[in-house]
Amino acid sequence: MKMNLKRMIALILCVVICGALFSSCGAADSDSTTIRIGGIGPLTGSNAQYGNAVKNAAELAVKEINEAGGINGVKLSFNMQDDESDTEKAVNAYNALKDWGMQISLGCVTTDPCKAIVPSTAEDNIFLLTPSASSEDILKDNDNCFQVCFTDPNQGTASAQYIAEHKLAQKIAVIYDNSNSYSTGIFNNFAKEAEAQGLEIVASEAFTADKKTDFSVQVSKAKSSGADLLFLPIYYTEASLILKECDAQGYTPTVFGCDGLDGLLSVENFDTSLAEGVILLTPFAADATDEATQKFVKAYKDAYDGETPNQFAADAYDAIYAIKAALEQSGRTVGTTAADSTGENDADLINGSTSASDICEAMKTGITKIQFDGVTGEGMTWDKNGAVSKEPKAMKIVDGAYTAM
């Protein structure tokens, strides 16, 4: 008896493994009524917040589109694979999605994994629109990758333009983290653009990841330089310490930051009154009062137990709708059967049976044609290179809440 049981288990395991090995045969159910979109992101591990936000928001958007009848009757389906924010796992996840029959890729949520799959997507010619992988490297040497978020350097340029345009200040001090590519990327371009805009950077003080607890030196230098605006292209934890230090030294400049400051109000043991008046350039704030944002936030909260969507969720939500818009503008018709219904699948149609490469070619033209209003910006457009151009939104912290300016 015992032996039989063991044999059974062994047999079952063999069958399972063999089955999985050959699972590619006929796995990609090329059902013409659904277009398959694949996403990759950290659903487990330390960055799981980001991945799950993207997954939730993308699923929400797909559900909304399908409930509204899809795109000319063609439904979307979304499959999110876990990469644990690991480059190697991201490649595996990408291959798994290809086996599933992915036609459009949402790329990876985080930058490094995304860099790892970009060469493969370029080779396979699969259209990639990443919600949040912000490095410039993703757009380099390919024509199939696009971003919903600003590239890191772009944020620097946009910040300087915003400050000059709204005449927030003339003399600027910067405190940045030079051990971090996000921070240095923004700073380098900010410095360039500030010069072009006629702004004066009177102090630029750096710190490193190892020395990010005491900012008294940097703050006193900024203070003595007489800057009336303090630019912080860093993450919110360090920013909260800098704000405390400013308060202690009695220094009250206008504080300006990028999307890294999103989260400042939820730092533990931080007196949020110190953050009063901080301006940050972020594409999305859940408290914003515009209609699109409120509709999205409400739908998201209803769907996911009252959880407030973050910037990643908003980017992903926009990504799915941008894909829809680009498909509609691609110059080819989305639909299951040709309009004259000759019974044969018109070669011009885009649906679940169209090859990923064909869709990619159509999307490349489609996405450059659209002007897209989403929750992370209005009138978003894309250039051939893949970078998004949208009006940066500035938020100001008033009475302990993000308010659109």
In the bound complex, what is the minimum distance in angstroms from residue 35's beta carbon to other proteins?
18
Nearer to other proteins, 24 or 371 (CB): 24
Q: Which of residues 61-90 bind other proteins (CB under 8 A)?
A: 81-82, 84-89
Q: Which of residues 162-221 bind other proteins (CB under 8 A)?
A: 178-179, 181, 184, 188, 208
Per-residue binding string, other proteins, 14-53, x by CB under 8 A, is --xx-xxxxxxx-x---------------xx---------
State both tokens at 280. 């940050």
| C-alpha 52, offset from chain centre | 12
Residues paired with 35 in a beta bridge: 76
Residue 98, interface with other proteins (CB under 8 A)? yes
State both tokens at 154. 């772009």
Phi-psi region of 359 (alpha: psi -120 to 50; beta: other; left: phi over 0): alpha
Question: Which of 58, 71, 76, 118 lies at the binding interface for other proteins (CB under 8 A)?
Answer: 118
In the bound complex, what is the minimum distance in angstroms from residue 182's beta carbon to other proteins?
11
CB within 8 Å of 301: residues ≥ 6 apart: 307, 308, 309
Cα gap 257→273, rounded to integer Å: 17
Nearer to other proteins, 181 or 381 (CB): 181
DSSP 241-307: HHHHHHHHHT---EEEE-GGGTTGGG-TT--GGGGTT-EEE-S--TT--SHHHHHHHHHHHHHTTTP
CB within 8 Å of 69: residues ≥ 6 apart: none
In the bound complex, what is the minimum distance in angstroms from residue 49's beta carbon to other proteins?
17
Phi-psi region of 80 (alpha: psi -120 to 50; beta: other; left: phi over 0): beta
In the bound complex, what is the minimum distance in angstroms from residue 179's beta carbon to other proteins?
7
Cα gap 400→46, rounded to integer Å: 28
In the bound complex, what is the minimum distance in angstroms from residue 261's beta carbon to other proteins?
22
Residue 281, interface with other proteins (CB under 8 A)? no
Q: Which of residues 123-152 bind other proteins (CB under 8 A)?
A: 137
- Binding footprint of other proteins, residue count (CB under 8 A): 44
Question: Which of 32, 48, 100, 357 lies at the binding interface for other proteins (CB under 8 A)?
Answer: 100
Residues found near other proteins in the complex (CB under 8 A): 2-3, 6, 16-17, 19-25, 27, 43-44, 81-82, 84-89, 91-93, 95-96, 98-100, 112, 115-116, 118-120, 137, 178-179, 181, 184, 188, 208
